[in-house]
Amino acid sequence: MRTGQRDEHVKECLSCRIPHEPGRHAIDQRLEILRRLFGIPLDREQDLRMELPADPEGSFKLWRELLEQNHMSPDMDTRKIGLQFSASGQHKTWPENRFSELGARLLSCSEKNIVCLMGGPGDKRAALRIKESMGKKSGHPGRILELAGKIKLSRFPELVKGLDLLITNDTGPLHAAIAVHTPTISLFVASNHGETGPVQDLAIHRIITKEKPCLPCLEKYCKDPSCMDLITVDEVFEAAVRALDSKYQQNP
């Protein structure tokens, strides 16, 4: 028996399809497959938790290497802020120029802030554009780390664990950050944060969302996905400052 959830790529291969329930979190929906197969409840709070192994010592060494390679003192009192500017679809992606403006403001507001541009090998060109624009706007190009495609997947949890804050679209690194207990600010409009947003440690995760301007929402099939523009740089910047202040008040 081949059991799984509705998916346009594999649905014809399934002998037992479990219906997709809009509004139900993706983790809970995946657990439903196990419930159906093995008859176990999986309804405790800890059943929904994501945990990803990330060695603190490995994270420390990785960040020490990255800072030294970029001519920054690894002993500096820094706040490392990750910007995950890409996503699996344009409908889930905050505009490049917003990430650039946000990064410039974060660099300008404190000399302790380091901005780290996250992404895969396919994000390299966009990362370089954002880095150049951010450096010009802020006047602090030396505190920008461009990491697109430079970190092996096996070390990605250690990278994310070393961040003080990740600001991200609705995409994989958001879930990695949640699983290693790194504070996040996640941006949602077309996608539903009730289905793919944080469900654990909510005190350290902030969601910024807006109502969808178009109903029904075409999501990944939209030919003009501009709804993420509804999220402003001001509100993300203010949320970032609050998140960093809160973390350092608790851990001075």
Q: Are 62 and 35 members of one domain? A: no
Contacts 24+ apart (CB under 8 A), 119-126: 119/84, 119/85, 119/86, 119/147, 119/148, 119/149, 120/86, 120/148, 120/149, 121/148, 121/149, 122/86, 122/149, 123/85, 123/86, 123/148, 123/149, 124/148, 124/149, 126/85, 126/86, 126/96
Who contacts 88 (Cβ-Cβ below 8 Å, separation ≥6)? 171, 172
Backbone angles phi, psi at 168, to 5 degrees: -150, 150
Q: What torsion, rounded to 10 degrees, do the Cα atoms 232, 132, 220, 197 define?
A: -60
Q: Are 69 and 32 members of one domain? A: no
**How far is residue 26's CA from residue 177's CA, in Å, rounded to a whole number?**
17
Q: Are 17 and 136 members of one domain? A: no
Q: Are 24 and 107 members of one domain? A: no
Tell me the pLDDT tens digit for each residue of 178-216. Answer: 999 999 999 999 888 988 999 999 999 999 999 988 888
The low-confidence residues of the chain, meaning pLDDT below 70, are 1-16, 247-252
Q: Are 39 and 66 members of one domain? A: no
CATH number of the domain at 141, please: 3.40.50.2000
Strand order in 144-146's β-sheet?
A: 144-146, 113-118, 79-84, 165-168, 184-188, 205-209
Q: What is the pLDDT of residue 13?
A: 66
Beta-strand pair 113-118/79-84: parallel
Q: Are 34 and 61 members of one domain? A: no
Measuring CA to CA, which residue among 129, 124, 142, 151 is closest to residue 70? 142
Q: Are 84 and 13 members of one domain? A: no
Q: What is the pLDDT of residue 15?
A: 63
pTM of the model: 0.89
Q: Are 213 and 161 members of one domain? A: yes
Burial class (CB in 10 A: 0-12, 13-18, 19+), 92: buried
Strands (E), the chain: 3-5, 16-18, 79-84, 113-118, 144-146, 165-168, 184-188, 205-209
Q: What is the pLDDT of residue 9?
A: 60
Q: Are 198 and 88 members of one domain? A: yes
Helix, strand or coil for residue 85? coil
Q: What is the pLDDT of residue 213?
A: 87
Q: What is the pLDDT of residue 124?
A: 96
DSSP 19: P
Q: Are 123 and 21 members of one domain? A: no
Residue numbers of the domain that contains 33:
3-48
Domain count, the chain: 2
Measuring CA to CA, which residue among 140, 167, 2, 7 is closest to residue 80? 167
Q: Are 43 and 117 members of one domain? A: no
**How far is residue 132's CA from residue 136's CA, in Å, rounded to a whole number?**
6
Q: Are 37 and 98 members of one domain? A: no
